Amino acid sequence: MFRFFENLVNPYADYAHEDTPPRRVVPFILQYTQGFRTVFVLATVFSIVSAAIEIGLIWAMGWVVDILTGDPGQVWQDHGTALIALAVFILLLRPVLQALDVALMNQTMMPNIGTLIRFRAHAHVLRQSVGWFENDFAGRIANRIMQTPPAVGEVTFQVFDAITFSLAYVLGALIMLGDADPQLIIPLGIWIVLYGLLIRWTVRRVSPASKASSDARSQITGRVVDAYTNIHAIKMFAHHDQEMSHAREAIEHARKTFQREMRLYTIMDVSLVTLNGLLIVGVVGWAIALWAQGSASAGVVAAAAALVLRLNGMTGWIMWATTSLFRELGIVQEGMETIAQPIALVDAPGAAPLALKAGKIEIQSLSHHYGRDSGGLDGITLNIAAGEKVGLVGRSGAGKSTLVKLLLRFYDAEQGRILIDGQDIAKVTQDSLRHQIGMVQQDSALLHRSVRDNLLLGRPGASDDALMQAAMQAQAHEFIMELEDPEGRRGYDAHVGERGVKLSGGQRQRITLARAMLKNAPILLLDEATSALDSEVEAAIQDTLYGMMQGKTVIAIAHRLSTIAQMDRILVMDQGRIVEDGSHDALLARGGLYAQFWARQSGGFLDPDTDTDRETEAGQ
């Protein structure tokens, strides 16, 4: 039975990806939960049925009180069949209906709604551009991905478990009391109005207070994750006290926002107890008065008393459920600030896969300043022939990394365009573009997974032989075979820690080199590809690296100029423009900026004694 209800909805079913999700809470929830609509209808029906059964049982107990005023033998003779039927209903049918109700809630809705939203929210966020991630904290994004799905689950649970049930229950109570004596509706109606006003007062204040608390908790998460991610810098500079002060500020802010939220609940609870007192005295007192006048039976008084005592017990639950509903809506709203942001960098309508034939790159009047007035690129025009090897040098901020990011389409260029084999990269699919480009970065961060998983990013499905061959070419196989993680996994199965922290910089870079070799893409981008290697290891893989370039179109950024001296062409960038273009020998003969960089190097590195205003490392 459990599996039947658990499998009514598949949270991983295919769906149409939405680039611009709804920005309002209710449409957002409705869009994400489209697959649950039939389940929602059934849950509503069973919730109403459950409320009707509860009201019916109270009415039945009043009827029992009334019939017990006669002779016991005669009561059994007149009503025995009805009493047995009532007992059978209570013992058999009622549990079945309740089981269907809670199974829909607990097995179908609760596990699957959170799973579906977390899966789709993660898929949506992964589709965001690199620039989007650079403008936020990874910890805050992850926190919102984690806290929003259970909040949506709690919202739907409260709607069907509490709100629908309570509305049906109150309506049933009005009908039952009105049937007994219409005058009993008056005190219950007055209480409903006052109770509704209290709920309105509470909800209008709880929702913003809850959002403030959620924002404050996200701020704590962001600061804590930031500290843990940069723990080496904190330890190195002995900044423990400063970090604790930084964290305490956020924690204290969260405490104060939570205090303000809890004050609302205290006011609510005290007001609720007062209102419930008025409910009990008003309805039961009126019923007793009607009984004294002969207008109501003892059963009516008993049923009225049972009903208001049940309502008295329910009101706190209903109030808490209602405020919880709006509190969770506040959390959803806060999460939507991240997971409902539109995808800005999308494939063009009708985009086709990149049909790479030779690997020719044409850059036409390319400008990109990240929305600022300066920095980035400024009107770059460049042609790179298929199979040509181009070195890229320049001071920090010259625009080298921006050029590479635009070539990978991590950003859309503000002006100009890039063509590969005559195809505008803005009009082909992003995945097909990046499949054709291999990349080795200076920041050789790895996933917190096994060495094998990290290498297979280059070519999923590659054989172990191909995997190890690439690792050997990158001089990585020997140290990989010596790895062992705390769980006892060894070699290629060993996990490398968050961002590869358990490996040295040189080891990480050799794994990323092996990954690029395994991918074997026709276009190769090298951004300080050997910067973390010592001279001995670099020399050992230099021939392999140049061999890897054969037949490929290559753009290599380097501050160790000896590594690009053999390139077909070297481009020197400065302030977002290409200021020199030629071979190593031609640029030295020209005596320009490249010649200055070369002259100030010692042993292949930039001279550390140069004027830092003008002689910043060429590859930064």
* Per-residue model confidence (pLDDT) at position 535: 67
- Neighbouring CB atoms inside 10 A of 35's CB total 16
* Per-residue model confidence (pLDDT) at position 613: 38
CA dist 228 → 190, 269, 450, 563 (Å): 56, 40, 21, 35
How far, in Å, CA of 271 to CA of 262, rounded?
14
**Token pair 């994750």 in the structure block, residue:** 225
pLDDT of residue 461 exceeding 80, the answer is yes
**Residues facing residue 391 across a β-bridge:** 556, 570
**Spatial contact of 575 and 378, defined as CB atoms under 8 Å apart:** yes
Indicate if the alpha-carbon torsion angle 208, 214, 216, 219 is positive or negative.
negative
* Per-residue model confidence (pLDDT) at position 615: 36
Q: What is the mean pLDDT of residues 298-310?
A: 81
Per-residue pLDDT of 141-185, as tens digits, reads 888 888 889 989 888 888 888 788 888 878 888 887 777 778 778
* Structure-model confidence comparison of residues 134 and 366, the more confident one: 366
Q: What is the mean pLDDT of residues 293-306?
A: 80
How far, in Å, CA of 477 to CA of 532, rounded?
17
* Structure-model confidence comparison of residues 383 and 506, the more confident one: 383
* Per-residue model confidence (pLDDT) at position 604: 45
Give the pairing of strands 553-557 and 523-527. parallel
**Spatial contact of 522 and 356, defined as CB atoms under 8 Å apart:** yes
Strand, coil or helix: 555: strand
Residue 513, both tokens? 């080199």
CA dist 23 → 182, 331, 332, 339 (Å): 46, 14, 11, 10
* Per-residue model confidence (pLDDT) at position 71: 76
| Cα-to-chain-centroid distance, residue 398 | 34
* Per-residue model confidence (pLDDT) at position 397: 82
How far, in Å, CA of 489 to CA of 123, rounded?
30
- DSSP state, residue 453: H
Q: What is the mean pLDDT of residues 20-36?
A: 88
How far, in Å, CA of 56 to CA of 59, rounded?
5
CB-neighbour burial class of residue 243 (10 A; exposed 0-12, middle 13-18, buried 19+) = middle
* Structure-model confidence comparison of residues 548 and 85, the more confident one: 85
In order of their start, the domains of the chain are: 19-339 (1.20.1560.10), 352-436+524-538+552-620 (3.40.50.300), 445-520 (3.40.50.300)
pLDDT of residue 605 exceeding 60, the answer is no
**Residues facing residue 383 across a β-bridge:** 362
pLDDT of residue 619 exceeding 60, the answer is no
| Cα-to-chain-centroid distance, residue 292 | 64
Over pLDDT 90: what percentage of the chain? 28
* Per-residue pLDDT band at 536 (split at 50, 70, 90): low
* Per-residue model confidence (pLDDT) at position 541: 65
| Cα-to-chain-centroid distance, residue 224 | 18
| Cα-to-chain-centroid distance, residue 152 | 13
* Per-residue model confidence (pLDDT) at position 119: 92
pLDDT of residue 548 exceeding 90, the answer is no
How far, in Å, CA of 101 to CA of 546, rounded?
68
Strands (DSSP E) found in 503-591 = 523-527, 553-557, 569-574, 577-582
The per-residue pLDDT of the chain, averaged, comes to 84
| Cα-to-chain-centroid distance, residue 429 | 24
* Per-residue pLDDT band at 407 (split at 50, 70, 90): very high
| Range among 119-128, 164-173, 221-230, 307-316 rated most confident | 119-128
* Per-residue model confidence (pLDDT) at position 560: 75
CB-neighbour burial class of residue 371 (10 A; exposed 0-12, middle 13-18, buried 19+) = exposed
Which of 270-284, 375-389, 578-592, 594-608 shows the lowest per-residue confidence on average (mean pLDDT)?
594-608
* Per-residue model confidence (pLDDT) at position 371: 78
Q: What is the mean pLDDT of residues 34-45?
A: 90
**Token pair 């031609």 in the structure block, residue:** 586
* Per-residue pLDDT band at 614 (split at 50, 70, 90): very low
- Neighbouring CB atoms inside 10 A of 10's CB total 11
Over pLDDT 70: what percentage of the chain? 93
Torsion angle, CA of 541/547/552/556, rounded to 10 degrees? 30
* Per-residue model confidence (pLDDT) at position 354: 94
Q: What is the mean pLDDT of residues 104-125?
A: 91
CA dist 433 → 177, 350, 437, 533 (Å): 71, 15, 7, 29
* Per-residue model confidence (pLDDT) at position 88: 92
Specify the amino acid at residue 118.
R
How far, in Å, CA of 392 to CA of 618, rounded?
9
Torsion angle, CA of 44/330/119/426, rounded to 10 degrees? 120
* Per-residue model confidence (pLDDT) at position 616: 35
